[in-house]
Amino acid sequence: MTYKVLIVDDESDMRQLVGMYLENAGYKWAEAPDGKTALEMIKRENFDLLILDIMMPELDGISVCKELRKTSDIPVIFLTAKGEEWNRVNGLRSGGDDYIVKPFSPGELVARMEAVLRRYVKTGPKDSVSYGELVINEAGRRVELSGKTVALTVKEFDLLTFLCYHKGQVFSREQLLESVWGYDYVGGTRTVDTHIKTIRLKLGSYGSHLSTVWGVGYKFEV
């Protein structure tokens, strides 16, 4: 299967550079110079992944992702400048699945894309599983709490599902990175902490079932 990626950046040179990396790795790609154009293109065409620059004039990447998450769960990888930790955190909270810091290597970009797509594309559906008021439908990639849908990003859904299916078992951050993000993921373990925090916020009081085991990692318990 050949994946199609939309590259969104207000710098033409950056779009062409990323596009060259993707072509060499066997991906198809299209480009958008701004967030508004990107949202219009997504309505007309099917894309498997979005590479989205955070700092853009008029409609920044975080605003684009928030708007996109109203109707789509397409994976989003943010492009961010070195040192913009606030933007990276807010990017993940807005619905992004990962981020990559400029400048980056072709290998790092492709590795992150493969990790996101590997978890997004499912090989086969599973039945719904209930944990009290929490219902996980893996086939439909849907989470409901007390009858209401909880909007999760791809990685948030995968992380929650993994912990729920192994309820009561404690996993270190490194184990969660390997199981959910993939063994070739090049980011740090703080990514796990950020996603756990966001999932807890979205689950409200039920988020307390995602327990921190100090000095070890995390577990899901009912």
User: pLDDT at position 34, please?
Assistant: 94
| More confident position, 88 or 40 | 40
Contact criterion met (CB below 8 Å) for 47 and 68: no
* Residue 75 · residue 154 · CB < 8 Å: yes
Q: What is the DSSP letter of 33?
A: S
Q: What is the pLDDT of residue 127?
A: 59
Which residue bears the tokens 């033409």?
A: 12
Rounded distance between C-alpha atoms, residue 11 and residue 125, angstroms: 40
Q: Which pLDDT does position 19 carry in this prediction?
A: 94
pLDDT at 140 over 70: yes
pLDDT tens-place string over residues 204-215: 999 999 999 998
In angstroms, the CA 186 to CA 177 distance is 10
pLDDT tens digit string along 52-63? 998 888 888 989
CA-to-CA dists, residue 222 to 83, 165, 171, 182, angstroms: 39, 12, 16, 27
- Angle at which helix 154-165 crosses helix 106-120, to 10 degrees, equals 60
pLDDT, tens only, 161-182: 889 888 888 889 988 888 888 7
Q: Is 155's pLDDT higher than 70?
A: yes
* Half-sphere exposure for 43 (CA within 13 Å, toward CB): 8
pLDDT number for residue 1: 57
Six-digit token string for 65: 């992702």
Residues written for the chain: 222
More confident residue, 79 or 51: 51
Mean pLDDT of the chain: 85
pLDDT of residue 3: 84
Number of H helices and E strands in the chain, helices first, is 8, 12
Read off the pLDDT of residues 67-125 as tens digits, 9 standing for 90 and up: 888 877 788 999 887 666 666 677 777 788 888 888 888 888 888 888 888 776 643 44
